[in-house]
Structure 1
């Protein structure tokens, strides 16, 4: 198996991070990989915000949990009500992926960039966790967070990724669900 396939197979969501900050050079490499993702009509309709201010990350954690307390899925509401849960798991860096809704397939473009980011981080032995609860907040208040993150006009935040050095051993890959594939030869 080649190194790319090994990295993809090894990547897991990390939910415990060391406090040590990731060097700027590595964050730049991870972001370069994210920006190499495919996008519809090569619009590259993404924008990245790197947050390393612990107070701002803490505020985003609490605002996200508050937004999720009224979510329509019971499990999400239960998670959001946990008083001590840090949805970023102590990560020293959070990257916000924003996009331009007017772009063709904008959220798909941003998801492709996010996946490149996650794989690049793993290749550098940096843990990551794609955070859905922050996405609930961004969906509820896109203009507020576009302003807070100083996004270019016409952009809104979609996803948040926790990044940091792993302070846990990743669990084994989950058992694959019943996946169906059709081949036409």
Structure 2
């Protein structure tokens, strides 16, 4: 089996849901964002990154997402929305939202997903914890959604597709579960 540093990082990256209070360093943030910018894309001008490191704003996003979840048909989301202890951002100090240009001639979800994965892998390569977060995007469906878009300076015509949180891991070791067998079919 081939082994190198990139493959090692891919295999060891895990979703982290317990972070230290300390903010990540600026050079770490910039390295992650550069990795996101270098992700493959179908339309070059289609992505936008929004970095949120303001604790009060992160708390507001969490609360707005929980309010929106309370109105959803899915019981699981309603339960999370009503859980006072649940923080969809896991108290991470940094959130990055990846938005796509809705006017692009092709769907940009894949472009934004590739950029998000690059952010996660870059974070792991520097020893940072990360977690891909869907729940916080519910905040944009809340009554405060348009106000939040303006406050976060998400460009007009861009839709928040993905987001992830980043910070220093509270625990160093994370178990790597075995992968399910029979997930690959070869046709040669």
- With normalisation by structure 1, the TM-score equals 0.90
Aligned to 1:184: 187
Check 1:9–1:139 CA distance in 2 against 1; reply closer, same or farther (3 A cut): farther
Equivalence for 2:95: 94
Q: Give how far 1:74 is off.
A: 2.0
Contact kept? 1:64, 1:133, Cα under 8 Å: yes
Residue 123 of structure 2 corresponds to which residue in structure 1? 121
Instruction: State which drifts further: 117-126 or 157-166.
Output: 157-166
Return the alpha-carbon distance in structure 2 between the equivalents of residues 140 and 66 of structure 1: 7
The match for 1:2 is: 4
- Partner Cα distance (1:97, 1:2) in 2: 29
Residue pairs, 1:152-171, within 5 angstroms = 152-171=155-174
Instruction: State the TM-score, normalizing by the size of structure 2.
Output: 0.89
- Closer, same or farther in 2 for the Cα pair 1:68/1:8, shift >3 Å? same
Contact kept? 1:51, 1:93, Cα under 8 Å: yes
Q: 1:56 to 1:140 in 2, by over 3 A?
A: closer
Secondary structure at 1:134 match in 2: helix
How many matched pairs? 184
CA RMSD, aligned part only?
1.9
Gaps of 5+ in 2: none
Q: Do residues 151 (structure 1) and 157 (structure 2) align? A: no
- Unmatched segments (≥5 aa) in structure 1: none
